[in-house]
Each structure stands twice: as C-alpha cells, then as structure tokens.
Amino acid sequence: MWPVAEERGVEPGPQARQDGGGSRRSSDAGRSAAAAAAVTRERPSPYNPGRGSATQVPGSRSEVGGRLGTMARAGMERWRDRLALVTGASGGIGAAVARALVQQGLKVVGCARTVGNIEELAAECKSAGYPGTLIPYKCDLSSEEDILSMFSAVRSQYSGVDICINNAGLARADTLLSGSTSGWKDMFNVNVLALSICTREAYQSMKERKVDDGHIININSMSGHRVVPQSMTHFYSATKYAVTALTEGLRQELREAQTHIRATCISPGLVETQFAFKLHDKDPEKAAATYEHIKCLKPEDVAEAVIYVLSTPPHVQIGDIQMRPTEQVT
C-alpha cells in the first residue's frame, strides 16, 4: 500500500546470561514482579516495552530525540536527502533507527505491518522539526509480493534505495525437538528470506541508478555468533547465524561486482523492546523478567551504532559490531 494514510527467550535469558550472579537476581525479584504486574495492567507501547506510557523510562520517545538531536554527525552530511529503507520500523530498534536517520536529514521509508505506529512516529518527527522525513509503508515482509511492490513504489516515487537497513525480525518459542513447522517458517521467512530479498532489490536499485556508495546493514544478534543453551532460541539462533553468513557473502559479492557498496551487520545482545513480549505472548511476566535482570541495551544504542557505521568514510567497511550489555554473560 502506498502511501498509507497505515530475548529470557530469544536473546539469552537471565539464567543463561548470569552465571551465579545470585545477589543481582534475588534483589531484582521484587522489581521483576512489579514490572510483570505493570505489564498486565498496561498495554506496552512500541517505544516503551512492558511499561505504562506514563512512566518515563530509557528508550522512551523523548530520550531518543534528546540523545541524537538534530545536529548532523560528522560523516553523515553525504547522506542528507538520500533514501534509506528501514524494515520493522513500527517499534523497538527499527523505530529508533528510523528516527535517528530522520534526525540526520535522510528520507526514510519505514515499513512494517503495524503501519499506524510508523505514522505516529512520522508525525512526531515532523512536529519535532527534524530535517528528514519518515514515509510509512505497510508491508508484510513474509510476502515476497508485498516486498516487490514496496520496492517498485519506492522506485516510482522516490527513485530508489541508497541505504537498506534489514532490521525486521522475530522469534517464536518453537524448539528443535517439538516446535511447529509454522513457527520455524515465520522466523525463516522474515529473518532470512525477507532480508535476502530486500538486499537483492536494494542492490539492484543502487545498480540501476549507478549508486556506488550505498550501504546494506543487517541487524543481526549475538545469537548469530554463539548458541545459548536455551531450547526455544535454537531455531532463532540458526536464522541469525544465517545473517552472519549472508552479510559476509554479500560483502564478497559486492567486491566481485567491483562496487563500493558496503555490507555491515550489527549484533546486539539483549535490547529492551517488544521482542520478548511477542515471543512470550502468553506469559507477559516472563517477558517482563527478560528485561529486569540486567541493564539491557536500549534501541537507541543500536541506532547510534547504525549512525556510526554510516558515518565512516567510504573506504572504511565495518563488518560486524558486536554489542552486549555490560552485565550480559554469554
């Protein structure tokens, strides 16, 4: 549609992360219970996972605006007015990345199924006076047809994509021994196939316009680099290992094609978003506990890594940024 007028689970949980750490866990028990109670009382907002919108917490909208501001980062000037596609921009990391890019003066097509959230963010960016624009696009990335329509709409209305941030992703609690095939397919379709289709289409868009300095950034995960002994994360982890291989394979193909288009992946540990609430959709207490046991990364931490990667001079290619919360063990 265009334009539309619309990890205790996956990333390793506290038990997997904390090897002992008893004092922190036990002292946090009360906080976890309180958070879980809050979750059952209030619907989490896309910017403020598991907590009521009345509470100002890290990662909330005003903080995101405050951290990056509208001052151009050195190295970001060359991206001004150019077009970035951010998948999964309806919340969490994707929303923070979309906002950060708009703050740096880019045109950003933000896509997801819940396009209303992106429209809300676009209105906020506009009223905040950010120099760029956020263009919401409704797209179900598990449908190739939807993805191709989106690229064709971008081509006809905005010429094409200069930066592709493959961020959309999900985890289902489907183990290898007894998980459902449909849960595996959901993860594979978005985390691996959609990322690959968007990458191919973004590259073709750059090539046909002779864009030689584009950038493809995959939001990977620490789960793409080690397997945590937590059964419900194993298939998810396999999809993220695929992202590690796809990013390096892409880098090699871009070299063979003699372009200067760059490929990077960013691999966060636990980030406080809606991710765990979707994984544990029947157990919000468990989801809330995911984010209570250690001080997690915030979506803006990842957004800042994206800005850093983009701001490096064209001869510098960052392959992978691995970023964990300081307190994360695995």
Ligand X SMILES: NC(=O)c1ccc[n+]([C@@H]2O[C@H](COP(=O)([O-])OP(=O)(O)OC[C@H]3O[C@@H](n4cnc5c(N)ncnc54)[C@H](OP(=O)(O)O)[C@@H]3O)[C@@H](O)[C@H]2O)c1
Do residues 214 and 162 make contact, with C-beta atoms less than 8 angstroms apart? yes
The stretch among 15-23, 71-79, 84-92, 97-105 that binds ligand X (CB under 6 A) is 84-92
User: What long-range pairs does 138-141 form, CB within 8 A, spacing at least 24?
Assistant: 138/1, 138/4, 138/6, 138/111, 138/112, 138/113, 139/87, 139/111, 139/112, 139/113, 140/113, 141/87, 141/88, 141/111, 141/168, 141/189, 141/190, 141/194, 141/198
Task: Give least dist CB 118 to ligand X, A.
Answer: 8
Using CA atoms, how far apart are residues 67 and 96, in angstroms rounded to an integer? 11
Q: Which amino acid is at 37?
A: A
Task: Give least dist CB 22 to ligand X, A.
Answer: 23
Do residues 306 and 100 make contact, with C-beta atoms less than 8 angstroms apart? yes
Could you confirm whether 236 is annotated as catalytic?
yes
Applying the rule CB under 6 A, the residues between 135 and 194 that interact with ligand X are 139-142, 167-170, 190
The interface mask with ligand X, positions 204-223, x = CB under 6 A, is ---------------x-x--
Applying the rule CB under 6 A, the residues between 86 and 145 that interact with ligand X are 88-94, 112-114, 139-142
Our CB check for ligand X shows the closer of 138 and 251 to be 138
Our CB check for ligand X shows the closer of 211 and 294 to be 294
Do residues 223 and 172 make contact, with C-beta atoms less than 8 angstroms apart? no
Catalytic one of 47, 137, 203, 236: 236
Task: Give least dist CB 55 to ligand X, A.
Answer: 18
Applying the rule CB under 6 A, the residues between 253 and 282 that interact with ligand X are 268, 270-271, 273-275, 278
Task: Give least dist CB 71 to ligand X, A.
Answer: 25
**Residue 198 near ligand X by CB under 6 A:** no
Using CA atoms, how far apart are residues 236 and 91, in angstroms rounded to an integer? 19
Length of the chain: 330
The footprint of ligand X (CB under 6 A) covers: 7, 11, 88-94, 112-114, 139-142, 167-170, 190, 219, 221, 268, 270-271, 273-275, 278
Catalogue the active-site residues: 236
